[in-house]
Amino acid sequence: MNPLSSEDLANIEVLKKQIKDAPKGRGQLIPLLQMAQNILGYLPDKALSLVADYLSINRSDVYGVASFYNQFRFNPPGKNPVKVCMGTACHVRGGEIILENFERKLEIKEGDTTEDREFSIERVACVGCCALAPVALVGETLHGHMAPSKVEGLVLRVQLEREKAEREAGNS
C-alpha cells in the first residue's frame, strides 16, 4: 500500500469538510466515491472508510462497490498520467504495441504508478478520435498516430520539461 503523502492528508481534510453537506442514503454511495476521487485523485483506504462511515455502510461493502467499477482507482495517479486508448480502432492499428512501449520505457505495468509519482499508465476505452488511431493521452494532451518512437519522445519531453522547471526554480 502506498503511504499517504502530505498532499493526500490535506485533501482528506478537504473531503471531510465537503462530505458533511452531502445528502445521505445508499444511492449516494457512487456520487460520494466520485467526489472523493475528484479531490484525491484516487481512493486510499482512509477515503473509503470516511465514505463508509458517513453513509453507515460496511467498509467491505464500499470496497466491493468501488472495485467493481473501472472509474475508481486505489493507487495514486502520476503527475503525468499516460492513458493509452484500447478502443477497437486503436487495437486494429496497434494500440497494444504502444502500451507495451510505455510499459517498457517507464518500467511499470499498466495500472501502476512510478515510484516518484511522475508517471502512471492506464488503458482507457475509446476516447473518440478513432481517425487518429492509435492514440494516447499524456496528462490532458492527446497524441494521435502514435508510434513506438513517439513514445520515447513523449517521455523524454516530459522529463526535459521537468528538469528545465527545476533549473529555473533553482535559479530564481
Partner 1 sequence: MTENVKSRIEAAYQALAEEARDQKETFDQSPLPKIHIGMASCGIASGALETQAAFEAALKDRGVEAHVHTVGCLGHCYAEPVVIIDHPDSGFPPILYPEVTPGKAKMLVKLFLEGGDPRFEHIMGATVENEMIPSVMEFARFNREKRVVMERCGKIDPEKINEYIAQGGYGALVKGLGRTPESIIAEIEASGLRGRGGAGFPTGKKWQFARNAAGSDKLIICNADEGDPGAYMDRTLLESNPHQVIEGMMIAALAVGATRGLFYVRAEYPLAVRILTTAVDQARELGLLGTDILGSGLDFDIDLFQGSGAFVCGEETALIRSVEGFRGMPRHRPPYPVEHGLDGRPTVINNVKTLATIPPIVEKGADWFRGIGTPGSPGTAVFSIVGNVTHPGLVEIPMGVTLRELIFDICGGIPKQKKFKAVQIGGPSGGCLSADFLDTPVDFDELRQAGAMMGSGGMVVMDEDSCMVDVSRYFLDFTQKESCGKCTFCRVGTRHLLNILQRLTRGEGKEGDIKQLETLSRAVQQGSLCGLGKTAPNPILTSVAYFKEEYEAHIQEGRCPGCACRTLTAFYIDLDKCARGCDACVACCPVDAVFTTSTRKKGIDQELCVKCGECMVACPPEYDAVVKISPAHLAPIIERPSEKKS
42 is a contact residue toward partner 1 (CB under 8 A): no
Among 6, 21, 23, 27, binds partner 1 (CB under 8 A): 27
Among 29, 40, 52, 82, binds partner 1 (CB under 8 A): 29
Least Cβ distance, residue 44 to partner 1 (angstroms): 18
H-assigned helices in 78-121: 88-92, 95-106
SS (H, E, C) 144-161: CCCCHHHHHHHHHHHHHH
* Short-list 31, 45, 158, CA closest to 105: 158
Bridge-partner residues for 82, per DSSP? 121, 138
Residue 56 grid coordinates: 453507515
126 is a contact residue toward partner 1 (CB under 8 A): yes
31 is a contact residue toward partner 1 (CB under 8 A): yes
Residue 112 near residue 78, CB atoms below 8 Å: no
> How many residues line the site for partner 1 (CB under 8 A)?
47
92 is a contact residue toward partner 1 (CB under 8 A): yes
4 is a contact residue toward partner 1 (CB under 8 A): no
Interface with partner 1 in residues 53-82 (CB under 8 A): 64-65, 68-72
3-state helix, strand, coil in the chain (%, to 5): 55, 10, 35
Residues of this chain that bind partner 1 (CB under 8 A): 25-31, 33-34, 64-65, 68-72, 86-89, 91-94, 97, 100-101, 104-105, 124-133, 135, 142, 144, 147-149, 151-152
